[in-house]
């Protein structure tokens, strides 16, 4: 069990409560608590979820930067696979009986087909990879809910239960069951939060949209999905996942570059004909001296959109290197903004997200406890935790998520300030005032508390008002934390005095 909790101050506060509680509980409740503690010390667990064949595993590979998740029809795509950082690449098969054993990745570095047990006796796979991307986040690839029904659905649900954040993969349109799946996920992880701090969406297969400029069309479609699902998702980003995977994992080789150059050198009319459909593209034709095997590989790696884009680039500049081509295709795929968002939304905010999820798990353990004593002890501890100033910080984090997702609008300057208050590491960062001494910081906290109180009362909407009250209280607590300096500055009750 992880006795020490890594992570930021919020995780440490919740961890401390768990450790104090543990010796006072019965065996079953304390074993459940151990799991909460263990998770607090692990990197954030991000589940990639969505419908069957939406491109979940493709997105997983693009984010990890290696083709480790299978994207074909092999059986392991029906299993939940947790990709975690580890010093040695290996896959651990976890049986439904709780047993574990290791198998190597297959020759291509992908999770193997041969797992040594029938699939219905495997609970999930733990895949350890040396990829740096996995140091700060564990990525859980989930199978889409499919016709095989109950067992698979159950496993997928277990994976989502374990997850602390979700990246939901859509294609084209979000359907009612997508929205329902997301609502269910949020209800299990952080039901008390009014804002989606732990969920983002990806509109994948952007390249397949039927529009003259599919990527631009995907951008506006993603924006409208983000508006429609703003209660469930921080935002939705468009992605050409296959292009992202191929370019991020080094799968576009010099040989592929050579085939693309040959295609770019064809007469424009002939090239256009070839790109008319996947069938036409790989059809043997004595007039086209580009090997079919090479074309097939390109189709698998880039699909028609990527091939068209690459050959257009080469037709303009035949001297483009394969490396430069890879870079331009990567840029087109939309992966960079997604990576930034995963790093930022789930990296910087991981402390708040993990602490919120752990607190939810703690409440759940309390409600499910077999003995009345356990239930009471846990309820008291949760209550006590909620009274702590740091617990209010969880609400500030949630308020910041509501504002940054655009669900509630506040003037730009206030939004920047709120983000700083939510995610700054200490009072100096939170107040953005490295030049001030402790007394100056206390003064500033008090001034900002009053300013937000004024904003709360002066004509803001009810949603803005709720945010402003949370922020006001956040500043008051910060002012109190600044201790003695606050005493010297405090010339009145900031709760009562809205004057700036």
Ligand X SMILES: Nc1nc2c(ncn2[C@@H]2O[C@H](COP(=O)(O)OP(=O)(O)OP(=O)(O)O)[C@@H](O)[C@H]2O)c(=O)[nH]1
Q: Where are the beta strands (DSSP E) in 183-297?
A: 199-204, 236-238
Q: What's the rounded Cα separation, in Å, for the pair 68 and 248?
A: 12
Q: Least distance in Å: CB of 56 to Mg ion?
A: 5
Task: Please list the residues that pair with 82 across neighbouring strands.
Answer: 126, 140
- Residues of span 27-66 touching Mg ion by CB under 5 A: 56-57
362 binds, options ligand X, Mg ion, none, Cβ within 5 to 8 A by partner type? none
- CB nearer to Mg ion: pick between 78 and 309: 78
204 binds, options ligand X, Mg ion, none, Cβ within 5 to 8 A by partner type? ligand X
Q: What's the rounded Cα separation, in Å, for the pair 202 and 236?
A: 5
235 near Mg ion, judged by CB under 5 A? no
Q: What's the rounded Cα separation, in Å, for the pair 60 and 107?
A: 19
Contacts of 437 (CB under 8 A, 6+ apart): 485
Q: Least distance in Å: CB of 54 to Mg ion?
A: 9
Of the candidate spans 74-82, 319-327, 396-404, 473-481, the one that interacts with Mg ion by CB under 5 A turns out to be 74-82
- CB nearer to ligand X: pick between 53 and 392: 53
241 near ligand X, judged by CB under 6 A? yes
235 near ligand X, judged by CB under 6 A? no
Q: Least distance in Å: CB of 235 to ligand X?
A: 18
Q: What's the rounded Cα separation, in Å, for the pair 368 and 198?
A: 24
Pick from 243, 414, 380: which is nearest to 313 by CA?
A: 243
- Residues of span 80-99 touching ligand X by CB under 6 A: none
Interacting residue with ligand X among 32, 205, 230, 472 (CB under 6 A):
205
- CB nearer to Mg ion: pick between 159 and 325: 159
156 near ligand X, judged by CB under 6 A? no
Distance between alpha carbon 270 and the CA centroid of its chain, in Å? 43
- Convert 394-405 to b/e letters by CB count within 10 Å (16 or more is b): bbbbbbbbbbbb
Q: Least distance in Å: CB of 206 to ligand X?
A: 6
171 near Mg ion, judged by CB under 5 A? no
Interacting residue with ligand X among 28, 103, 208, 433 (CB under 6 A):
208
Interacting residue with Mg ion among 5, 29, 77, 204 (CB under 5 A):
77
Pick from 388, 488, 391: which is nearest to 438 by CA?
A: 488
- Residues of span 44-73 touching ligand X by CB under 6 A: 52-58, 71
**Cα dist from 480 to 86, 435, 445, whole Å:** 42, 20, 9
Pick from 301, 344, 329, 255: which is nearest to 67 by CA?
A: 301
318 near ligand X, judged by CB under 6 A? no
Q: Which residues bind ligand X (CB under 6 A)?
A: 52-58, 71, 77, 143-144, 204-205, 207-208, 240-242, 303
């Amino acid at each position: 069990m992880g006795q020490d909790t890594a992570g930021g101050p919020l995780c440490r506060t919740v961890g401390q409560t768990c450790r104090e509680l543990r010796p006072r509980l019965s065996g079953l409740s304390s074993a459940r608590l151990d799991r909460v503690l263990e998770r607090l010390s692990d990197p954030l667990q991000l589940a990639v979820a969505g419908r069957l064949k939406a491109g979940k595993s493709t997105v997983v590979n693009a984010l990890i930067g290696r083709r480790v998740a299978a994207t074909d029809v092999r059986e392991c795509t029906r299993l939940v696979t947790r990709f975690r950082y580890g010093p040695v690449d290996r896959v651990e098969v976890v049986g439904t009986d709780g047993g574990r054993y290791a198998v190597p990745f297959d020759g291509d570095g992908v999770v193997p087909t041969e797992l040594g047990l029938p699939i219905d006796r495997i609970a999930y796979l733990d895949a350890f990879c040396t990829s740096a991307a996995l140091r700060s986040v564990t990525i859980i690839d989930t199978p889409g809910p499919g016709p095989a029904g109950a067992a698979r659905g159950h496993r997928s649900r277990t994976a989502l239960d374990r997850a602390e954040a979700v990246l939901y993969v859509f294609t084209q349109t979000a359907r009612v069951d997508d929205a329902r799946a997301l609502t269910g996920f949020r209800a299990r992880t952080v039901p008390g939060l009014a804002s989606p701090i732990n969920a983002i969406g990806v509109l994948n297969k952007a390249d397949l949209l039927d529009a003259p400029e599919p990527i631009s069309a995907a951008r506006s479609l993603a924006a409208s999905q983000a508006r429609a699902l703003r209660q469930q998702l921080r935002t939705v980003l468009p992605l050409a996942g296959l292009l992202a995977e191929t370019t991020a994992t080094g799968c576009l080789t010099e040989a592929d570059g050579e085939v693309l150059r040959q295609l770019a050198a064809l007469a424009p009319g002939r090239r256009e004909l070839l790109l008319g459909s996947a069938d036409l593209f790989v059809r043997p034709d004595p007039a086209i001296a580009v090997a079919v095997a090479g074309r097939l590989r390109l189709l698998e790696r880039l699909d028609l959109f990527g091939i068209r884009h690459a050959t257009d680039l080469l037709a303009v500049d035949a001297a483009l290197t394969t490396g430069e081509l890879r870079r331009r295709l990567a840029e087109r795929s939309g992966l960079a903004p997604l990576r930034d968002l995963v790093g930022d939304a789930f990296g910087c905010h991981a402390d708040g997200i993990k602490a919120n999820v752990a607190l939810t798990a703690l409440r759940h353990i309390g409600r499910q406890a077999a003995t009345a004593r356990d239930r009471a002890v846990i309820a008291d501890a949760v209550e006590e935790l909620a009274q702590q100033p740091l617990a209010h910080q969880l609400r500030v984090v949630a308020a910041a998520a509501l504002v940054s997702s655009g669900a509630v609008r506040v003037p730009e300057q206030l939004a920047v300030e709120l983000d700083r208050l939510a995610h700054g590491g200490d009072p100096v960062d939170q107040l953005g005032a490295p030049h001030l001494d402790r007394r100056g910081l206390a003064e500033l906290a008090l001034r900002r508390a009053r300013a937000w109180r004024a904003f709360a009362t002066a004509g803001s909407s009810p949603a803005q008002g709720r945010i402003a009250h949370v922020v006001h209280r956040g500043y008051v607590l910060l002012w109190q934390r600044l201790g003695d300096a606050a005493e010297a500055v405090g010339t009145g009750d900031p709760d009562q005095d809205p004057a700036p």
